[in-house]
Amino acid sequence: MRVDSRKKGFTLVELLVVIAIIGVLVGLLLPAVQAAREAARRMSCSNNFKQIGLALHNYHSAYKQLPDHGGGTTVATGGNRVGGSAAAVPKVSNFLELSWLVGVTPFMEQQALWEQISNPLKDPKTGALWPPMGPNPRMDIANFNASYYAPWMTEIPGLRCPSDPGVGLPAKGRTNYLGCVGDSARYINGGVNDRGVDTNAAGARAACRGFFKHRRKSRFRDVLDGLSNTICAGEIATDLGDNDVRTRGNQQTGGSVSLANGNTRCDSKVDPERPGFWKTPPSAGFETAGGIPRAEQRRGYEWSMSRGIWGMLNTIKPPNSYLCADSNNFNDGIYPPSSRHQGGVHVLMGDGAVKFVTDSIEAGDQTSAHVSNESNRLPAGSKSPFGLWGSLGTRASKEIIDEDF
C-alpha cells in the first residue's frame, strides 16, 4: 500500500483570498463600530445634561429660584478683577460674572469644589486668601504667574461631552453646556452693571426673553410658555484652535447684529471653499481685554464665566452656525449652540428633558431685526421672528409649539 506523504494545508492563493475576505469584512464593519461608539458618546452626553437638569431643579427646590447667571460679588472699594499681588488678592471681585453652573456645583456631586469657591481660599503662590466666590473668571493665563485660583481651572467631568476632544491651555476649565438667554442679541448682559446697579430695566424686559436673564433673578414661574416648551440650556463645541466659525467669534460688519439683516453680518468673513472656517480672522482688537490679547476668548474655555462667548447661547441662528458679535466677545452677539455630534445638538428643556435638535430646524426669517424696545427693531412682545427655533428660546412670548422637533 502506498502512503500519501503530502502535508495538508492552504495554498498561497487560498491564504491570500482568505486575507482579502477578512479585510473586506473589517472594512464593512469599521463604520458600524465607529457609529456605535459615537452613539454611546452621544448617550453619555445626554446623560450629563440630564444630571445638570436634575441639579437645576434641586437648586430651585432648595432656594425657590434659579441659580444666578451673572452672580457673585460686586466691585469692592479698591478692588479689581484679578489680584496680581498678595495685597490685592483679598480685595478682588468677580464683577457679577459667574455662570449659573457655579451655583449648581453642590447639586452635581461637586460639594468639595463648592466649598473651595464659597469660602476663603489660600493662593498657593502669594499665600494670601482669595475672598469667597473668588476673582473674576476672565483672569488671564499671564497673571497666573503672580496668582492662581484653582476652582476656575478645574475641569468638571459632568460638564464635558465625550465627543468633544478639546483639552488643555489656553482654556481654563472647559464646559460643553451653556444657558439660553433667548432670541435677541440686544441687551444680552441684562442691563445691570458690574456694581449691581440696574441701568436699563426697560430694555432688559423687552429683549432678554430667555430662560436665564443675566444678572437678574429668575424662577420657574417666569416661564409662562411652559417648562417643556422652553430651552433652558444647550450644548456647545469647545474650541480646538482651528479657526472654526462655531467656536471662535468674529466681529460684525455694516451695523449691529440685532438690526435687519444682522444675522448675515459675518457672512463675508467665512471661507466660501471651507464654510466651517473663517477666511478673515477677527481683528487683534476684537479678542482683547484691558488692551491685552486674550488667547482664552474662545467657546467653552471658561465654565465659570457667564458673559458672551463663554457663557451664553441664543436661539437666533440655527445650531452649528457661526458666532458673530457687535464689538467684542463679552457683549451683544449671535451665539448659537454647536456640537461634535452629527447633524445637530442636545438641548435641555426647562422640565429637565433632553432633546436632540437638528441643524435644519425651522428658524424663520433670518433677515429680520431682533426684538427690543429701540427703534429699527421689532417691538417688545413680538412673536419671535426666528420661527420654531426662536420660539423655543423664549420663556413668555405666548407662542404655541405645535410641531415636533
pLDDT one digit per residue (tens) for the chain, 405 residues: 555 555 566 677 777 888 888 888 777 766 665 666 777 888 899 999 999 999 999 999 999 999 999 999 987 666 677 777 788 888 888 889 999 999 999 999 999 999 999 999 998 888 889 999 998 888 765 555 567 889 999 999 999 999 999 998 888 899 999 999 999 999 999 888 888 888 899 999 999 999 999 999 999 999 999 999 999 999 999 999 999 999 999 999 989 999 999 999 999 999 999 999 999 999 888 887 766 667 888 999 999 999 999 999 999 999 999 999 998 888 899 999 999 999 999 999 999 999 999 999 999 999 999 999 998 999 998 999 999 999 999 999 888 777 766
Give the bridge partners for 378, in sequence order: 371
User: Which residues on adjacent β-strands are paired with residue 289?
Assistant: 292
pTM: 0.88
Tell me the three cell numbers of residue 374.
429701540
Helix (H, G, I), strand (E, B) or coil at 92: coil
Output the nine-digit C-alpha cell for 153. Answer: 481651572
Measured CA to CA, the distance from residue 263 to residue 279 in angstroms comes to: 18
Identify the sign of the CA torsion 53, 67, 202, 249. negative
Q: What is the largest distance, in Å, between two alpha-carbon atoms of the chain? A: 111
Rounded Cα distance between 328 and 283, Å, is 10
CB 331 within 8 A of CB 371: no
